Each structure stands twice: as structure tokens, then as C-alpha cells.
Structure 1
Amino acid sequence: MGKFDLTGKTALITGAGRGIGLQIALTLQEAGADIILTDADAIRATDAADQFLVKPQVHQLDVTDSQSVRDLAARIGFCPDILVNNAGVSRAAPTKHTTDEDWRVVLSVNLDGVFYCSRTFGSLMAERGSGAIVNISSMCGDVVTRQESVVTAYNASKAGVNMVTKTLACEWARSGVRVNAVAPGFVRSEMTDKYPEEVVKAWSDQTPMRRFGQPHEIASAVQFLASDAASYITGTVLLVDGGYTCW
């Protein structure tokens, strides 16, 4: 079981002020890692830090701004062992009602942010010769869900995350850096709680396990991929979807 232990490692998580990102940070700390908690909302990040047994480093980070990412790396002063690219947004609307701003915001946070953070911290990991990157994708990067709200931009961004994951895994495989993704299905979070209850029930009914996932179930998958237990795994997109994509 020691292969799952993260003691002595430092993990940087983006979008960790709430929801799945916060649960990932809490889980990795429980596994022994030192945490660098980042979020676009500085107040939210600071408030979230109060939930930890050992207070993490807290930094405001706009993942859509590549200079902000580089500045964070300079402030930290060292390269973390684990990077979890979790920050993400969704703006659901039929395609004809999806504005240029909606499209750009979703792609900027979900895809540009993964690239900018991976480019900065992953390159440092490659120079050092070790590291693990876990990107939070979605089953929507592989399938179109049956739902009443269309999320073209979100789906496109997550498909991009999957390919960035595989490409970087190949590029850095010989450098000791592993790059994987976790692709959640429907999970109870701020993002899904905004939908009407009848839509949530329909999604649950469409899932073989007949329920939504919980944030801790996503966090456990991240811990696995970040740990030495996954030492021969890179370029994988691990579905954690209650069987949804098996239909």
C-alpha cells in the first residue's frame, strides 16, 4: 500500500477552491502530500484552506493567462512533484445561442489552462527527470451525453484535453514525467447542481450505476494516477463514470 503514499511530494491543484478540486487537494494531503492550492478567486481559495489539517500554500491563479502561470512558478520557487489541472467551466446553450465570449471562455479555461500549466510545470518536471500530471477531463471528451442542454464548447474543450494528455505523455515519457487524465461522468458539484432535478434524475437513470458520482470518488482516481502505484501508466484517460459510456 506504500505505493499509494504521497509523503514527501508536493501537489499543485488548479481550481481547488471548491468542489472536485478542493476534494482532490484534501485527498492528496490525506495521502501525505504537501498542497499548493490555487484558484482564480483568491478569497475562495483562502477560505478553502481552513478545511485542511495542515494549511496549504494558497495562490491566486488565472489559468487563462500564461504570464500568471509563469509568475506562479517563480513565486513558488521550485517544481511540484504533482500537477492536477482541475480548473474548468461550462456554459450550456444551443450552439446557435453560444456567443463568441461563451466559446472563448470555456476553451480558455478548460483547454488553454491545461496547456499553459503543463507547459510551465511539466517542462520543469522533464528537466528534473520526474513528475506526474493529472488532467481533469470528462466523459464528454469522448461521448455526447443525452441531455436537454447542449455543451458544444465544453465537449470540444475536453476532447482537446484528452489529446493534450496523450501528446504530452508521449513527448515526456523518456523524461520521467507521466501525464494522464481522469474523465468523470456525472458528479455532484456546483456545476451539476444548477440543473433542474428532473434533468439530474434523467442523467442518473441513464447511468448503469443509477447514481451520480461523488467528488471523493474522482479524487481517489487522481491519487492513484499521481502515485507510484501507477508508475507504468501514462497517456491514459481513466473514465470514472458509473458505466455511462458502456451503453
Structure 2
Amino acid sequence: MFLEELFSLKGKVVLVTGGGRGIGQVVARGLAKAGAEVAILQRSEPKEAIKEIEDDGNIAYWVKADVSDEKAVDTAIAKIGERSGRIDVVFNNAGICIHKGTLEASISEWRQVIEVNLTGEYIVARSAARVMMEKGIKGSIINMASMSGSIVNIPQWQASYNASKAGVIHMTKSLAIEWADAGIRVNSLSPGYIATPMSTETPQELKDAWLPLMPLHRMGKPEELISAVIYLASDSSTYTTGLDLIVDGGYSLV
């Protein structure tokens, strides 16, 4: 019972960006199973993700916004406040990747990745933190980073993605210090190669190159990230802030 209470999210409202597919969808369902009411923020309605959560007997709903659109995010978060009365946790998950070498990628593609992965997470974190502070909530913000924020992936070239995720890690540390007095904890999660559409739809020659570099000789499963997010979201991590939690099967160690 002690551990169940420590890791419980019962009574908490959790905002998940990009929760309609991949890691976001799997983790959103896990957060709901831990007791959270889940609000999924993304541009299109995540019907399947919401149905899964509701079929489990839990609560989820959709708020529409593009994470890089400040006004749309503020409006969406205001709607969550009106419907649920509070926001306790943010899983800042939405992200994109463009596998192109620097000389081939356009500046517009660079900006697109930075706008979604870094600026988008900044916009969502700031908007949610404002609500938490107004209501006196000692919340938790979990920013999606990547092992790519600490290492350079090979053989694919993705400078924009790597730079965006390195930015997320340092932004997280900066916000952790800035918002500590308000009782808001800010941490980042850095997965390795996870078997989601973003990675499984990549060319086979890339995956063939990745596998020999993986100490566990396999890609991770989205389900293997649930416990890490629940730890950072729950009261079990009330003295943890500014952490970049790497879950990559040891990839970045070699």
C-alpha cells in the first residue's frame, strides 16, 4: 500500500502533448492507469488514445493546439483549467525529427524542428507553470529530451534534432532553478531508440547500423518509459528537480 500511494497519481490532472500516438499515447494510458485525469493536447483529435483510456475506466479528453502557437496553447490550457480545475503535471512530449544532412536541409526545416521541439516545450511549460503558480500548485513538468541531446547519432545526420534536444535539457535545468521557489519541479526524460512510428518507419539500413551499438541489443519499448514518467510525475520524486533521466539501454555509455 505504501508504494501504491507513493507512486499514485490519483486526484492529479496531467497534460500530455502529442499523446495521440507513439510514446505519448502509451505513456498517457499508463498515467491514467496510475489514477490521473489526462488531457491530451495536439492538433488533431486522438480518438484511439482517448478510447483506450476510457475503455480502462479512466478519464481523458482532448484540447486542440499546435505547441508552437503561443495563443493556441494558452487557450487550450485555459480550457483544461475550466474543465478540470487545475493542472498538476505536464508531460511535454510532442516532437518531430527530420533526418537530413546540414547541407541538404533547408533553414525552414531547421526552424520547424526547433519551433516544435524546443520553443513548443518552452511555450507549454511556461503557460502551464503560470496556471500552477496562480493556483498555488506544486506541480511537475516533464520535458521530453533525448539521448540525442547528449550524444551525436550515427549514421543519420540530424543536427537540428540533436540541437533541439540539447536545448531542452539545459532549458529544463534553467526552469528548475527559476521555478524552485514556486514549488514547481522541472525534469527531462531522455529516451534512446524506442520502437515507435518515428523510429520504426526509418530506413532499415539505419536500424541495422544502430543495433550493434546497443548494449542490450534491442530497441526499447514505449511501455518501458511509463515508470520513469510516473516517478517524475508523482510524489515519489518531490526532491528531484533539474534531472535529465536517461532511459537508453546504455547506448550513450559506449
> Where on the TM-score scale, by shorter chain, does this alignment land: which range?
over 0.9
Match of 1:184, as an amino acid?
Answer: P
In structure 2, C-alpha distance between the alignment counterparts of 1:129 and 1:9, rounded to whole Å:
11
Q: In the alignment, what sits opposite 1:59? A: 63
Rounded to whole Å, the distance in 2 between the matches of 1:65 and 1:129 is: 25
Between the aligned partners of 1:234 and 1:129, the Cα distance in structure 2 is: 16
1:102-141 paired onto structure 2 within 5 Å: 102-127=109-134, 128-141=136-149
Alignment-mate amino acid for residue 142 of structure 1: S
CA contact (8 A) 2:97 2:158 kept: yes
Who is 2:208 aligned against?
A: 201
Q: Deviation per CA, 1:8-50, whole angstroms, max 9, x where unpaired? A: 11100000010000111001011111111122222xx123211
The offset of 1:204, in angstroms, is: 1.9
Amino acid aligned to 2:177: C
Contact 1:88 1:110 in 2 (8 A): yes
* TM superposition shift of 1:158: 0.3
| Percent identical | 39
Q: Is the 8 A contact 2:145 2:165 kept in 1?
A: yes
Question: Could you say which residue in structure 1 is the equivalent of 2:163?
Answer: 156
Which residue is 1:178 aligned to? 185
Find out whether 1:92 has 2:99 as its counterpart: yes
Tell me which residue corresponds to 1:25: 28
**Runs of 5+ in structure 1 lacking a partner?**
none
Measured in 1, the distance between the counterparts of 2:32 and 2:48 equals: 17
CA distance in 2, matches of 1:124, 1:48: 25
**AA in 1 matched with 2:111:** R
1:73 is displaced (CA, Å) by 1.8
Matched positions, count? 244
Q: Whole-Å Cα distance in 1 between the matches of residues 194 and 249 of structure 2?
A: 10
Instruction: Please say if residues 195 and 220 of structure 2, whose CA atoms lie closer than 8 Å, have aligned partners that are also in contact.
Output: yes
Contact 1:64 1:113 in 2 (8 A): yes
Q: What's the offset of the Cα at 1:209?
A: 1.0
1:168 corresponding residue in structure 2? 175
Equivalent of 1:71 in 47, 72, 75: 75
**Length-normalised TM-score, structure 1:** 0.95
Pairing of 1:225-244 with structure 2 (within 5 A): 225-244=232-251
Residue 50 of structure 2 corresponds to which residue in structure 1? Answer: 49
Distance (whole Å) between structure 2 residues aligned to residue 132 and residue 35 of structure 1? 14
Answer with 162-171 or 192-201: which moved more: 192-201
1:129 positional shift: 4.0
2:18 pairs, out of 15, 18, 36, with: 15
* Partner amino acid, structure 2, of 1:48: A
Q: Which is worse superposed, 216-225 or 192-201?
A: 192-201
* C-alpha RMSD of matched pairs (Å): 1.2
What is the distance in 2 between the residues matched to 1:23 and 1:33?
A: 14
In 1, distance between residues paired with 2:142 and 2:165? 13
Contact 1:126 1:172 in 2 (8 A): no
Question: 2 CA distance for matches of 1:162 and 1:228?
Answer: 22
Alpha-carbon distance in structure 2 between the residues aligned to 1:24 and 1:39: 15
Q: CA deviation at 1:122?
A: 1.2
1:55: Cα distance to partner? 4.2
